[in-house]
Amino acid sequence: MEVSVVVTVLVLAVVQSVFGVGLLVFRTPTLLLLGYPFDQALAYLLPCSILISALQVRASGGVRLDPLRRRFLLLTAPTVLAGTLTVLLILGKVNLRPLVGAMLIVTAFLRLGGARERLYAFVRRRLDPLLVGLGVLHGLTNLGGGVLTVIVSSLYEDKHRVRAQIAFCYGLVGLIQVATLAATTSVDWSPLRPRPPTPRSAGMPSRPSAAPRTSTASPA
Query: pLDDT value at position 213?
Result: 53
Q: Please tell me the predicted confidence (pLDDT) of residue 36.
A: 80
- Classify the phi-psi angles of 209: left when phi > 0, otherwise alpha if psi is within -120 to 50, otherwise beta: beta
- Quick one: pLDDT at residue 20? 47
Cα torsion for 48, 39, 69, 116, to the nearest 10°?
A: 90
pLDDT tens, position by position, 98-114: 666 666 666 666 666 56
Taking a C-beta distance cutoff of 8 angstroms, is the pair 92, 187 a contact? no
Q: Where are the domains of the chain?
A: 3-185
Q: Flag whether pLDDT at 118 surpasses 80.
A: yes
Under the banding of pLDDT at 50, 70 and 90, the label for residue 44 is confident
Tell me which DSSP letter residue 63 carries.
-
Q: What would the mean pLDDT of 61-82 be, rounded to a whole number? A: 91
**Which pLDDT belongs to residue 133?**
92
Task: Choose among 124, 135, 145: nearest CA to 25.
Answer: 145
CA separation for the pair 176, 139 (Å, rounded): 9
Q: Are 76 and 135 in contact (CB under 8 A)?
A: yes
